[in-house]
Amino acid sequence: MIFVIGGVTAAGKSSLAFKLAKAIGGIIINADAYAFYRELNIGTAKPTEEELASVPTFLFNNLSISDPYSIYDYQQDVRRLIAIYEQSKRPIILVGGSGLYIRAALYDYRLSPNIGIVIEDNFEESNASLHQRLTLIDPVAAAKIHPNNRKRVLRALAISENQSRTETNHERHLKSGPLFPFTMIVLDALNEVLERRIHERTTDMFVSGLRQEVNDICQKYPQNAQGLQAIGYKEILANPSMTDDELIALISLRTRQYAKRQRTFFRHQFSNATWFSDQHEAYLFLIKKYEDSL
RNA sequence: GGCCCGAUAGCUCAGCUGGUAGAGCAACGGACUGAAAAUCCGUGUGUCGCCGGUUCAAUCCCGGCUUGGGCCA
């Protein structure tokens, strides 16, 4: 039995997941792309060490920000865990705000290893020219990617060139439904409520020493490390002279915008999810689903 | 009290001495099978401070007023 708890940031996904896991004896798998990194703590609003130890949890703090890790690796890791716990009949709770990672775990996303995390970009070629090249190699992928979306064009080129596989012949074999049956809820909140929670949470992060955490990380790792692209970290790095209040305002804004993107993704990519703005109602719903499955 | 500069979108500001306005950010909507807390796309929402004047026509020119800032008393 797989339960998926998705939703926008600061909606209370983690605490719901832990409550549910304790109630039904489940295990928790992280689906939050920045909760992997053990160096990122304050700014990621990750569950505390105590919480993480209170039930079996996986894929939290499993990486250093200098480790190479991709959605391919994630897919492998999650599917391995699913295989183990499905067999032992223990409920699996997949929780996190990274919708693409949830999809890659549960749907027929065929990925190849060793594409690498970062695509080299020497900026010598224009967006239009890169896109033109992609059109020749993989017209299906090119049609789906806007020429200005340079990052995705480069990625698609790398996939086509290195894997001798194109979207065109790739998609023919895809299964459209999920590979595993699962029950999914999306946790959301009214904008006013969410705004208030985000602001409070961001303020708390500064009180807890987010600036210091960022400084410490910069002593040991390059500033372009992927983990430092996280909201909160990148704003502090980019604006060293801003006051705490200015940074809190900026980070809260970026977090609200992120929540909006999450909402759009979950709404359109998970049509069979049930939405809740109340954590307790979501909890009761999931408990009921669990009991029905027994 | 006198002089000078400003007042245009939610914010910061553009706007050739005349033909009822546009950038960035924000906001709103969207895409997304390989950086996803990433990346990208679409949408202008406006008594151009107020009142009068000149003109076929005023955000623009003229007068007055209100208001913010600066300088001089």
pLDDT, tens only, A145-181? 999 999 999 999 988 877 655 555 555 556 678 999 9
pLDDT confidence tier of residue A226, bands split at 50, 70 and 90: confident
pLDDT at A114: 67
Distance A92 CA to B28 C1' (A): 37
pLDDT-wise least confident of A17-21, A68-72, A91-95, A231-235: A68-72
Q: How far is the CA of A261 from the C1' of B37 (A)?
A: 10
The answer to whether the C-beta of A210 is closer than 7 A to strand B is: no
What is the rounded distance in angstroms from the CA atom of residue A187 to the CA atom of residue A274? 9
Whole-prediction pTM value?
0.92
| More confident call, A123 vs A13 | A13
| DSSP designation for A64 | -
Q: What is the model's pLDDT at position A123?
A: 79
All residues at 6 or more sequence positions from A241 whose CB lies less than 8 Å from its CB, including other chains: none
- Tell me: pLDDT of A28 over 90: yes
pLDDT at A116 (0 to 100): 63
Q: Which nucleotide is nearest to A233 (CA to C1')?
A: B37
β-sheet bridge partners, residue A251:
none
Between A86 and A119, whose confidence is greater? Answer: A86
Grade residue A1 by pLDDT with cuts at 50, 70 and 90: very high
User: Is the C-beta atom of A171 closer than 7 angstroms to strand B?
Assistant: yes
Six-digit token pair at A60? 């939290």
- Measured in angstroms, what separates residue A112's CA from nucleotide B13's C1'? 49
Output the distance from A88 CA to B42 C1' rounded to whole Å: 49
Residue whose C-alpha is closest to residue A29's, from A67, A49, A68, A55: A55
Give A195 CA → B54 C1' in Å: 53
- Listed as ranges, the nucleotides of chain B within 7 A of a protein C-beta are 26-41
Read off the DSSP letter of residue A138: -
A 187-206, residues with C-beta < 7 Å of strand B: 191
Q: Is the pLDDT of residue A199 over 70?
A: yes
End-to-end CA, chain A = 10
Among positive and negative, which fits the CA dihedral A126, A131, A134, A136?
negative
The 10s digit of each residue's pLDDT in A61-103 is: 999 998 989 999 999 999 999 999 999 989 999 999 999 999 9
For residues A175-197, average pLDDT: 92
Q: Who among residues 66-105 of A has its Cβ near strand B, under 7 Å?
A: 70-72, 97-101, 103-104
A273 touches strand B (CB under 7 A): no
How far, in Å, is the CA of A264 from the C1' of nucleotide B41?
A: 14
Tokens matching residue A91: 């409920």
Q: Strand order of the sheet with strand A274-276?
A: A57-58, A27-30, A92-95, A2-7, A183-187, A274-276
Q: Token digits for A288?
A: 């009921």
- CA dist., res. A153 & res. A141, Å (int): 9
Helix axes A279-293, A13-24, angle to 10 degrees: 30
**Mean pLDDT for chain A?**
92
Interface predicted TM-score of the whole assembly (ipTM), two decimals: 0.92
- DSSP for A191-236, written as a single string: HHHHHHHHHHHHHHHHHTTHHHHHHHHHHHS-TT-GGGGSTTHHHH
CA angle A67, A52, A105 (to 5 degrees): 55
Average of pLDDT values for A256-275?
A: 96
Does residue A140 approach strand B to less than 7 Å at its CB? Answer: no
Question: What CA–CA distance (Å, rounded) separates A63 from A35?
Answer: 9
In 3-state terms chain A splits into helix, strand, coil percentages (rounded to 5) of 55, 10, 35
With cut-offs at 50, 70 and 90, classify the pLDDT of residue A118.
low
Q: What is the pLDDT of residue A284?
A: 98
